[in-house]
Amino acid sequence: MKATRLIAVSVLAIFCIAMFAGFALAEEKISTKGKIKSYDLDEKTVVVATDDGKEMTFTIENEKALKKLDDRLFPGDEVKIKYIIKDNKNIIKENNDLRGTKPGC
């Protein structure tokens, strides 16, 4: 009986530790809006003049998001960006993390 209880408590403790570790490792995305100033498809970067007056450079890790720059988004277009900071770089990870505000983007 005591062995079963000890095993149950141990399994529960391991589960709780794993769950909290997962929350700690989750990447929180930051949002911003602004206008595309320039982009470089070879370097996979886009420079945005944000609504609060900053100029920010983003590295794009997602090929679909990069293709949007080639097909539908141009300098001067307003965009909404969700990004993470990794190795002191602003990273756009997913397709929907780079969105134009005009229809079809």
Which segment of 11-15, 18-22, 53-57, 70-74 scores lowest on mean pLDDT? 18-22
Q: DSSP secondary-structure letter at 40? A: E
Residues 45/98, Cβ–Cβ less than 8 Å: no
The yes-or-no verdict on residue 64 having pLDDT over 60 is yes
Question: What's the predicted TM-score (pTM) here?
Answer: 0.72
Domain boundaries, the chain: 30-100
At residue 69, the pLDDT reads 85
Per DSSP, the three-state class of 30 is strand
Task: Give the pLDDT confidence of 44-58 residue by residue, as tens digits.
Answer: 999 999 988 899 999
CATH code that applies to domain 30-100:
2.40.50.140
